[in-house]
Amino acid sequence: MIAGLTGSFGSGKSTAGALFAKLGWFVFDSDEFCRTMRTTPDAGFLAAAASLWNGCCVKDGKIDAKAVSDVVFGNPERMREWLGIVYPRLDMEMDRLTAECRESGRDAIFELPMLYEAGMEKRFDCVISVWAPDRIRGNRLGEGRAIVSSEKMRRDAMQLLPEEKLSRGDYGIVNIGSLGLLEMQVERLDAKLRENKRKSYSPMERE
């Protein structure tokens, strides 16, 4: 089973991903992968980043994450340009990991904030959407993160509405701020997905 996991900024999708990992799923965090690309870029990615916007986001041989954020959020054209150098590398890594998981039979979840916006839903057996009320999202972003309201609004503007992400998902998780309730939903969904996987195999395939 290869599932996509998405949700709006601050919805708790990373927490849900961590809960799936505790249940034995391989979980790929695209944000962490992209963060690693920025902090320790290879020569090819660094050159690609330096070719954008007169090199304003590359300083002393490193990619300035804040400069990238200032340029792309709120500017769809600049965001498309940035994703144009990020997504090919992300796709290659996801293809590699998906192939490994399919071959080994391991269940995997790929956490992607902009899964629908990037048109990636078809690469997964199913998509899980995490939704949280705006108040909860705002509170979560204020806990240990230097995210102000204007930054949240800029990032939200680049994504589908939270309700649309939820409605488009094959499965939904509603996060109202209780870790216990979130864990209960993840456990129930884990059981359902594993049962669906078991039923999907024909007797010939199980022999």
Q: Give the pLDDT of the chain (207 residues) as one tens digit per residue.
A: 999 999 988 889 999 999 999 999 999 999 999 888 888 888 888 899 889 888 888 887 788 888 888 888 778 888 889 888 899 999 999 999 999 999 999 999 999 998 999 899 999 999 999 999 887 777 666 554 545 555 656 666 678 889 999 999 999 999 987 899 999 999 999 999 998 888 775 444 433
Residue 56's Cβ-side half-sphere holds a number of Cα atoms within 13 Å equal to 11
In a domain? residue 206: no
CATH of the domain at 149: 3.40.50.300
In a domain? residue 83: yes
In a domain? residue 207: no
Q: What is the 3-state secondary structure (H, E, C) of the chain?
A: CEEEEEECCCCCHHHHHHHHHHCCCEEEEHHHHHHHHHHCCCHHHHHHHHCCHHHCCEECCEECHHHHHHHHCCCHHHHHHHHHHHHHHHHHHHHHHHHHHHHHCCCEEEECCCCCCCCCHHHCCEEEEEECCHHHHHHHHCCCCCCCHHHHHHHHHCCCCHHHHHHHCCEEEECCCCHHHHHHHHHHHHHHHHHHHHHHCCHHHHC
Number of domains in the chain: 1
In a domain? residue 135: yes
In a domain? residue 109: yes
CB count, 10 Å around CB of 174?
Answer: 15
Quick check: 77 and 63 in contact, CB under 8 A? no
Domain that holds residue 51: 2-201
In a domain? residue 54: yes
pLDDT of residue 174: 95
* C-alpha span between 7 and 160 (Å, rounded): 9
